[in-house]
Amino acid sequence: MELYFMGTNAGVPSLQRNVTSLALRMLEERRSFWLFDCGEGTQHQVLRSPLKLSKLEKIFITHLHGDHLFGLPGLLSSRSYQGGDTPLVLYGPKGLEQYVRMSLGISESHINYELIVKEHSGGLIFEDETFRVESALLEHRIDSYGYRVTELDKPGRLDFEALTKLGVKPGPLYGKLKRGESIETGSGTVHAKDVLGVPKKGRIITILGDTRPCSAAIQLAKDADLLVHEATFLHELAETAYNYHHSTAVQAAQTASAAHAKELVLTHFSSRYKDDEQLGLLLDEARVIFPNTRLAKEHELVVVARDEQL
């Protein structure tokens, strides 16, 4: 799993950065990617990226402010012209479906795939045999949600030496054992637990929408392998951040620390911070509290490491 940032600015785009959007690439796990927020210009950023809209499976919108969703109608329409014909599921707060259907309808945009819109108010919003996605309401001027993506644990490796001694030959029986099922052989029953190694623990990624510091952010980020948190201002502007329902870099680091997250990625920077030197001040503030912090950079991959890779 990898994160690919396509927009890291807050409010409005600048010459240096686009407004909010990031992709969770899961080519190995699902042969697809998920998109989180879709600010204006996101489809142009996709064209400059290794991503293909035909591989887009799901879009999660944190809230209905324009810098997080004005790019949706164009991207949804363009997907049809870029080979996207599989169903696409769109998740977000109440009002999202009206916005999307009205935008596509008034502009007479026709898409050749099934678009499924699932409005939610938090809780468990998606689960299958490989991933679970939970959401919770944060603290912002309008309803803004964070998302916790949990990769389910995978079975451990088969002990081929033990299987050979037990007389189990390669084939469908291996698959049953891998799924945790017991099998029958000529010499008796073979239980999966006896021939499987330690399960491979799944990773947890938390991606928050715009928010003040709040308990829901900490809960969503609990023990996360990677937390993406807004850092709109330096801490000298903490009062401004509070008044606009945003967070400082220091507050993002405090959330990561309280949640016992493993890595923090800062994003959603005020356009007043224009160059690397100014952004570096945000990073320096956060690292005092949470050393394993990095800045999101557009068109840069961030690998979500497993414990054994850390």
Tell me: do 102 and 208 sit in the same domain: yes
Catalytic residue among 67, 128, 223, 276: 67
Q: Is there a catalytic annotation at residue 67?
A: yes
pLDDT at 308: 57
Mean pLDDT of the chain: 93
Domain boundary among 170, 195, 220: 195
| Residues 156, 198 contacting (CB under 8 angstroms) | yes
pLDDT digit string (tens) for 201-244? 899 999 999 999 999 999 999 999 999 999 999 999 999 999 99
Beta carbons of 59 and 90 less than 8 angstroms apart: yes
Tens digits of per-residue pLDDT, 255-287?
999 999 999 999 999 999 999 999 999 999 999
Range of the domain at 212: 2-154+200-309
What pTM was computed for the model? 0.90
pLDDT at residue 165, as a whole number: 76
Residue in the structure block whose two tokens are 């840069």: 300
How far is residue 40 CA from its own chain's centroid? 19
108 CB burial (10 A radius; 0-12, 13-18, 19+) = exposed
Total count of domains within the chain: 2
Distance of alpha carbon 178 from alpha carbon 62, whole angstroms: 37
Could you tell me if 223 and 204 are in contact, meaning their C-beta atoms sit under 8 angstroms apart?
yes
- 182 and 46 share a domain? no
Across the range 116-134, mean pLDDT stands at 97
Distance between CA atoms of residues 306 and 50, nearest Å? 23
CATH for 210? 3.60.15.10
Binding-site entries for Zn(2+): 63, 65, 67-68, 140, 210, 268
**Whether pLDDT at 292 is above 90:** yes
